[in-house]
Amino acid sequence: DAKTTQPPSMDCAEGRAANLPCNHSTISGNEYVYWYRQIHSQGPQYIIHGLKNNETNEMASLIITEDRKSSTLILPHATLRDTAVYYCIVRVPRNAGGTSYGKLTFGQGTILTVHP
Amino acid sequence: EPEVTQTPSHQVTQMGQEVILRCVPISNHLYFYWYRQILGQKVEFLVSFYNNEISEKSEIFDDQFSVERPDGSNFTLKIRSTKLEDSAMYFCASSGSGGLTQYFGPGTRLTVL
């Protein structure tokens, strides 16, 4: 799986948009970009994923650059409950043997702190 | 909304004892996974399971570990002879027939004394 690079920490004011960047310059054509978050040692929570196009759901928006070498997760109106570690993960759809969908390889992520 | 559940939430055991961690994946899911997270470290992949067999495993998943789907709803991780370094949060995850998105349970905190 391609390696990702994220800033170790970011701050955001409550009610403002949080923009979390991720670099994945070695991404290959069939790899998806996934975002998960983990709130204080709870299970990782799926946020959003994309391949080429920008994506939006009820939690966030994902902006992927045209060359796919970087992406940005946008939380449009951050709340205190959005304080968490955010992981950007690049993942192939299947493992090498084609018998399972690929594992998730977590890095250190970005610690997002939302301030009142 | 369907969710992955795990029991127990916290398991304390003595070194050398066997433990079984239990997971109930989302009901129509077909792919199952175990991950672990040692305190202060990254979430690490252990094993994936599909069609009643292991499809991929990491170096961590040695002979002391095994997984099983004993019935249509449960998915278990067994550690035969626990070591101090097995102390960690263990997360179960599952994904559906499309397989693209894994959903995680809340985890079991395993403490080996």
pLDDT tens-digit profile of B30-55? 899 999 999 999 999 999 998 889 98
Whether residues B31 and A93 touch (CB distance < 8 A) is answered with no
Q: Residue A60 contacts by C-beta under 8 Å, 6 or more apart in sequence?
A: A35, A47, A48, A73, A74, A75, A76
- What pLDDT score was predicted for residue A98? 61
| DSSP calls for B61-73 | --TTEEEE--SSS
Q: Is the peptide bond before B8 cis (omega within 30 degrees of 0)?
A: yes
Residue in the structure block whose two tokens are 């199952």: B32
Residue that has been written with the tokens 């599952």 in this structure: B94
Closest A-chain CA to B31 = A100
**Chain A residues touching B105 at Cβ < 8 A:** 43
Q: Which residues fall within 8 angstroms of residue B69, CB to CB, at 6 or more apart?
A: B32, B49, B52, B75, B76
Helix (H, G, I), strand (E, B) or coil at B85: helix
Q: State both tokens at B47.
A: 């094993």
Interface check B55 vs A, CB under 8 A: yes
Report which of residues B100 and B90 the model is more confident about. Answer: B90
Chain A contacts of B56, Cβ < 8 Å?
Answer: 95, 97, 99-100, 103
pLDDT at A102 over 80: no
The pLDDT value recorded for residue A12 is 96
Is the backbone peptide bond immediately before A8 cis, with ω within 30 degrees of 0? no
Q: Which two tokens stand for residue A23?
A: 């670099």
Chain A residues within 8 A of B43 when measuring between CB atoms = 38, 44, 87, 104, 106
pLDDT number for residue B97 = 72
pLDDT single digits (tens) A22-49: 999 999 888 899 999 999 879 999 999 9
A1 shares contact with chain B (CB less than 8 Å): no
Beta carbons of A24 and A88 less than 8 angstroms apart:
yes
